[in-house]
Amino acid sequence: MLTGDLVRLRPVEPEDAEAFHRWFNDEEVMRWLYAYYHVSLASLRKTFADRPDNSYERVTFCIETLDERKHIGLVRLRDANPVNARAEVDIYIGEKEYWGGGYGTDALRRVCRYGFDTLRLHSIELGVVEANARAIRCYEKVGFQVDARLRQSFFRDGEWHDALLMCVLADELT
């Protein structure tokens, strides 16, 4: 378990499938995520049952509130490259009433600290649609900076959007 100021990060369990099923089929939660298809509970249950153990290449955590132990989202480090000591991070809070409460910032900061101090990563990157202002603000608070613009790389509801490649180096995490 990893503990932050507001959240606790714990491994994913098979019984978490129901919560993810609700979130993956919520268009508001998925609006700016690179996920296109609705997914069945049966398929998610299978994915979760077959999920490989956490490892250097891929570490996935459920985000729980520290006070109520409520499961509100997911954060993961993936595609870690040992030569470049670089990985990608994904995060979402599926329980919408928790948006804007500082939980995403705390979870992201904690998982990046784990990546730098325990996995000995040097840099962590993420992709975000430019229109997702709340997410970008969250990432900036943790120390992420924009390294590149991916022009018209995201299509949603009939419109093209630019995405940003953001990155934080080990000594930049705030």
Ligand X SMILES: CC(C)(COP(=O)(O)OP(=O)(O)OC[C@H]1O[C@@H](n2cnc3c(N)ncnc32)[C@H](O)[C@@H]1OP(=O)(O)O)[C@@H](O)C(=O)NCCC(=O)NCCS
**Contact footprint for ligand X (CB under 6 A):** 29, 32-33, 91-93, 99-105, 128, 132-135, 137-138
- Which DSSP letter does residue 17 get? H
In the complex, least distance from residue 150 CB atom to ligand X, rounded to whole angstroms: 13
Q: Which is nearer to ligand X, 42 or 133 (CB)?
A: 133
In the complex, least distance from residue 29 CB atom to ligand X, rounded to whole angstroms: 5
Q: Provide the greatest CA pair distance for the chain.
A: 43
| Cβ proximity of 137 and 150 under 8 Å | no
| Cβ proximity of 85 and 123 under 8 Å | yes
SS3 111: helix
In the complex, least distance from residue 56 CB atom to ligand X, rounded to whole angstroms: 23
| Cβ proximity of 81 and 115 under 8 Å | no
Residue nearest to ligand X (CB): 104
The residue among 46, 13, 47, 43 whose CA lies nearest residue 25 is 43
Q: Which is nearer to ligand X, 20 or 92 (CB)?
A: 92
In the complex, least distance from residue 26 CB atom to ligand X, rounded to whole angstroms: 9
Q: Which is nearer to ligand X, 44 or 142 (CB)?
A: 142
